[in-house]
Amino acid sequence: MPKNDLHTIVTDLFDQLEKNREQHLFTLSPREIGTVTSVTSGIARVSGLPGVGFEELLRFPGDVYGIAYNIDADEIGVILLGEDWLLHVGDEVERTGRVMDIPVGNAVIGRVINPVGEPMDGLGTIPFTERLPIERPAHPIMDRSAVSMPLQTGIKAIDALIPVGRGQRELIMGDRQTGKTAIAVDTIINQRGKDVICIYCAIGQRAASVAKVIANLRHHGAIDYTVVVATEGNNPPGLKYIAPYAATSIGEYFMEQGRDVLVIYDDLTEHARSYRELSLLLRRPPGREAFPGDIFYIHSRLLERATHLCDELKGGSLTALPIVETEAQNISAYIPTNLISITDGQIYLSPKLFELGILPAVDVGKSVSRVGGKAQLPAYRTVTGSLKLAYSQFEELENYARFGTRLDDNTKRIIEHGKRIRTWLKQPELHPLSVAEQIVVLLALTEGHFDSISIDDMKLAEAALLEACPQLPAELLDRIYTGTAFSDEDRSFILDFAGQILKAFEID
């Protein structure tokens, strides 16, 4: 290259640099930096941040973040969202000027993330365009509509006797290893094709348990409409504490777009324990069972965000199914009673029923839905009116009959009918049933078509009836699914249809 051309290029480059330097506007941004004074398990104490706000996000070295929670005159108690062993006394702490938030959007569907939005499934980073604070005020009462649409779980005992509506808060409670998570997973699987976004929030669960849930969701194609927000038992207590709030913000994003969302918190007992741990480390005064005084508030402000929005706000809904673990069947313990008072009903799983092999182990007598039939399809209300009463009478008479008392024919008939109701309530895991399948078998059961079939053959008879359900007329199926009231002709047709199939199983 000639020397003149090279000189020209260098001159033009310097001129451009000088022009850019003259046009550049230098801005000063203030930074407020404090110092770590002590570090304990999940907690750090910081000094030197006079302008920090409550629940403001603070940045520590090594990309560790924390939430300013105790703001005293001389120091700040910070809940750490990362590993505390990465921090040392004397480290610098910087304010971020924002509260804890979570990435939201369609890109999170089908992914497994932690409560700060980092992927845990090895599928790469998550593209997002919006972030929402994990703590948001609940929608005011004037923005809400009554709960009227059902959320079908696919579980016979729940859909028939303890219906759940879209926008409801229904508590799932029971001792450990009684099938609480199984009910939640079945409910997620049953939402396939129903345009419901599901969020499974695992709070402090074992890694093997979370992996099993994800594997079941993948196997049944449910991961395509599900977001998994997971924290494991060895994660910092701060991550466990923010997990349900992060999951709720993700759900609210879709709800405010007019979508129906289901959020499962598994479980809030572990959430309360992590908050108790943090509160005691922050030296907040303990109350009953060493829980802090605001333990009720942390759950009420979480579950109050579940609602059904009015049509002016696109009519979306967020249904919450919180799970709580009881000890020795004590449903009157501190945390369970708090959650019972917050939610719109509870599904109680009995260890006695579980040991007897009655799965799912739903105790119908101790379970209730305060929304009830208002969120149930009319077809259910037509056929379940006498079911709960008949089952309650059976349980009472069965206990009475154990004394060897001579029974009259009517009592024997009630007991035999109740045994068939109990057999019908049994359902294998990961096999949710459609509305039409439940209605056909339920109608045949309440009308006594199964009473002439032996208990041993009842499951075979039910399987034959379920297999024949696709043969029902399309018009009848449409009326069932669209919520049209059951007519006498529909009822008679289904009973005749069921009677013909069950005739082969009747006792001679």
370 catalytic residue (yes or no): yes
Q: How far apart are CA 299 and CA 454, in angstroms?
A: 47
User: Do 1-100 and 142-376 agree at the fold level?
Assistant: no
The CATH number corresponding to 1-100 among 3.40.640.10, 2.40.30.20, 1.10.290.10, 1.25.40.10 equals 2.40.30.20
CATH fold of 382-505 reads Lysin (1.20.150)
Q: How far apart are CA 309 and CA 149, in angstroms?
A: 12
Read off the pTM.
0.92
CATH fold of 142-376 reads Rossmann fold (3.40.50)
Q: Retrieve residue 379's tokens.
A: 């077809």
Per-residue DSSP letter, 403: T
In order along its 508 residues, the chain shows pLDDT tens digits of 555 666 777 787 878 888 777 777 766 677 889 999 999 999 999 999 999 999 999 999 999 999 999 999 899 999 999 999 999 999 999 999 999 999 999 999 999 999 999 999 999 999 988 999 999 999 999 999 999 999 999 999 999 999 999 999 999 999 999 999 999 999 999 999 999 999 999 999 999 999 999 999 999 999 999 999 999 999 999 999 999 999 999 999 999 999 999 999 999 999 999 999 999 999 999 999 999 999 999 999 999 999 999 999 999 999 999 999 999 999 999 999 999 999 999 999 999 999 999 999 999 989 999 987 888 888 888 888 788 889 988 988 888 887 767 888 899 999 999 999 999 999 999 999 999 999 999 999 999 999 999 999 999 999 999 999 999 999 998 888 887 877 889 899 999 999 999 999 988 6
Burial of 343 (0-12, 13-18, 19+ CB in 10 A): buried
The one-letter code for the residue type at 23 is Q
Q: Retrieve residue 308's tokens.
A: 């059904």
412 Cβ contact list (under 8 Å, min separation 6): none
The catalytic residue among 206, 218, 370, 413 is 370
Angle CA 107–430–440, to nearest 5: 115
Extents of the domains making up the chain? 1-100, 142-376, 382-505
